Amino acid sequence: MPSLEEYAGEIKELWDSRWLTNNGAKHKAFKEKLEAFLGVPFAEPVVNGHTALELSLQALGLKGEVITTPFTFVSTTHAIVRCSLKPVFCDIDPDTGCIDAEKLEALITENTCAVMPVHVYGHVCDTARIEEIAKRHSLKVIYDAAHSFGERVGDRGIASFGDISCFSFHATKVFHTIEGGAVCFSDPDLSEKLKEMKDFGIRDEEHVDEIGGNGKMNEFSAAMGLCNLRHFDQAVEGRRVAVTCYRERLSGVEGLILPPVQKGITENYAYFPVVIDEKLFGVTRDELAQRLAERGILVRKYFYPLTNALECYRGRFDPKDTPVALNISERVLTLPLFEELGAEGAGRVSEEIINIRKSQL
Ligand SMILES: *Cc1c(COP(=O)(O)O)cnc(C)c1O
């Protein structure tokens, strides 16, 4: 969070203007700063990341099947289904956790209209291969970029890939606006459409063009975004220190597979997932999580269960269709990671993990 003073200063004008939402001064300033920061022609702030995904699918007027990944937060799959589209699940690359682009083409049918990959953990998808296949089959590409805010591939910003890239600015993300998100794209035609669609489809006082919903970001969230953008580098640096410590302490621990370092990527260090090889590590993922919890260390089983294994989709999808994702989801843990964790915190977590393994030998 920014300091209370900084945030108070940012929202002070709202008490004078009484303009709290609907494209106010903070929204305008935030949108401008966001576009410059991300290096995209258009970044439309919205109420949350989930709405960014739904609005994108709707704005592109998609119908039919969308190829996506089950190894993600539930929002990605729900967005597709809630827009009356059919998710078709592609398996993942076991190293990055992102969609396996080599398995994508085999899933394309005459009903396929789009691909929705996820830069999971901030690992960058094989964008070149995905977009080459999409182009050949005239498919739209919408990235769920919720984990990858501020990342760069070479000198290109992550938000510039695909037809659309969607971010979440939820309080738990590396960059946040309390609740919030953004839809990023370069097609100017989409700009008016999205502005209308996030505001009930309203063009002006007497004209409603679209059957839109309410996806507007309010002024208090935009103000939080303006503050947090100033401290983004610092937030990433704090995480980098912790991740560097995790890598130093945990590499070479038998039975623990660390995430890859992707070449040419400027990372945001959003998550630090480790995959447990039970035979070599001596305890299962679930036991490790349990024992860490007993020591006051909270880890998350991100992403377990797969979205195609959730109760609400029972009978509709089968996680066995994506065996690599199923396997990883049963063995992965994300370790504690936040700006203030520091080498000390990451060191303590690492030590406990090593102790738990040793106690098994
Ligand atoms: C957080 C997240 C979302 C949803 O974003 P909200 O802002 O919480 O609506 C969607 N996809 C992924 C991968 C996420 O991590």
**Looking at the predicted structure, is the pLDDT value of residue 177 above 80?**
yes
Q: What average pLDDT score do residues 202-213 get?
A: 96
Q: What average pLDDT score do residues 289-311 get?
A: 97
**Looking at the predicted structure, is the pLDDT value of residue 307 above 80?**
yes
Model pTM above 0.85: yes
Give the number of other Cβ atoms within 10 Å of residue 140's Cβ.
Answer: 18
Tokens of 320: 């066995």
Ligand 1 near 147 CB (within 6 A): yes
* Nearest-10 crossing angle of helices 285-294, 342-358: 120
Spatial CB neighbours of 7, under 8 Å, sequence gap ≥ 6: 1, 223, 224, 227
Q: What average pLDDT score do residues 35-45 get?
A: 98
164 forms bridges with which residues in the sheet? Answer: 142
* pLDDT recorded at residue 358: 85
Tokens of 118: 């996820």
* pLDDT recorded at residue 29: 98
Q: What average pLDDT score do residues 38-66 get?
A: 98
* pLDDT recorded at residue 359: 86
Ligand 1 near 348 CB (within 6 A): no
Q: How many helices (H) and strands (E) does the chain have?
A: 12, 15
Spatial CB neighbours of 345, under 8 Å, sequence gap ≥ 6: 242, 336
Task: Tell me the torsion sign for CA atoms 272, 277, 282, 287.
Answer: positive
CA of 19 to the centre of ligand 1 (A): 28
Ligand 1 near 31 CB (within 6 A): no
Q: If you ran DSSP here, which 8-state letter would residue 289 be given?
A: H
Kindly report whether the peptide bond that precedes residue 303 is cis, defined as omega within 30 degrees of 0: yes
The whole-angstrom separation of Cα 88 and Cα 76 is 12
276 forms bridges with which residues in the sheet? Answer: 256
Q: If you ran DSSP here, which 8-state letter would residue 137 be given?
A: T
* pLDDT recorded at residue 187: 97
* pLDDT recorded at residue 10: 98
pLDDT digits (tens, 9 = 90+) for 1-28: 999 999 999 999 999 999 999 999 999 9
Residue 225 φ/ψ, nearest 5 degrees: -60, -40
Share of the chain above pLDDT 90, in %: 99
Best residue among 53, 55, 57, 75 to mutate for probing ligand 1's pocket (most ligand atoms within 8 Å of CB) is 75
The whole-angstrom separation of Cα 1 and Cα 7 is 9
Ligand 1 near 221 CB (within 6 A): no
**Looking at the predicted structure, is the pLDDT value of residue 86 above 90?**
yes
Which ligand 1 atom minimizes the distance to the CA of 79? 10
Share of the chain above pLDDT 70, in %: 100
pLDDT digits (tens, 9 = 90+) for 124-150: 999 999 999 999 999 999 999 999 999
Ligand 1 near 69 CB (within 6 A): no
CA of 23 to the centre of ligand 1 (A): 23
Kindly report whether the peptide bond that precedes residue 305 is cis, defined as omega within 30 degrees of 0: yes
The whole-angstrom separation of Cα 76 and Cα 195 is 22
Which ligand 1 atom minimizes the distance to the CA of 168? 7
The whole-angstrom separation of Cα 78 and Cα 86 is 10
Ligand 1 near 75 CB (within 6 A): yes
What value does the CA radius of gyration of the chain take, rounded to a whole number of Å? 21
Average pLDDT value over all residues in the chain: 97
* pLDDT recorded at residue 256: 97
**Contact between residue 190 and residue 142 where contact means Cβ atoms under 8 Å apart:** no
* pLDDT recorded at residue 360: 76
Closest C-alpha residue for ligand 1 atom 10: 75
Q: What average pLDDT score do residues 325-353 get?
A: 97
The whole-angstrom separation of Cα 34 and Cα 23 is 15
**Looking at the predicted structure, is the pLDDT value of residue 361 above 90?**
no
Q: How far is CA 170 from CA 179, 280, 302, in A?
A: 5, 37, 16
pLDDT digits (tens, 9 = 90+) for 254-271: 999 999 999 999 999 999
The whole-angstrom separation of Cα 223 and Cα 320 is 45
Mapping DSSP onto H, E and C, the string for 304-357 reads: CCCHHHCHHHECCECHHHCHHHHHHHCCEEECCCCCCCHHHHHHHHHHHHHHHH
CA of 232 to the centre of ligand 1 (A): 19
Task: Tell me the torsion sign for CA atoms 77, 83, 89, 92.
Answer: negative
Residue with token string 């049918």:
109
Q: If you ran DSSP here, which 8-state letter would residue 300 be given?
A: B
Q: What average pLDDT score do residues 339-344 get?
A: 96
* pLDDT recorded at residue 44: 98
The whole-angstrom separation of Cα 347 and Cα 4 is 30
Which ligand 1 atom minimizes the distance to the CA of 147? 15
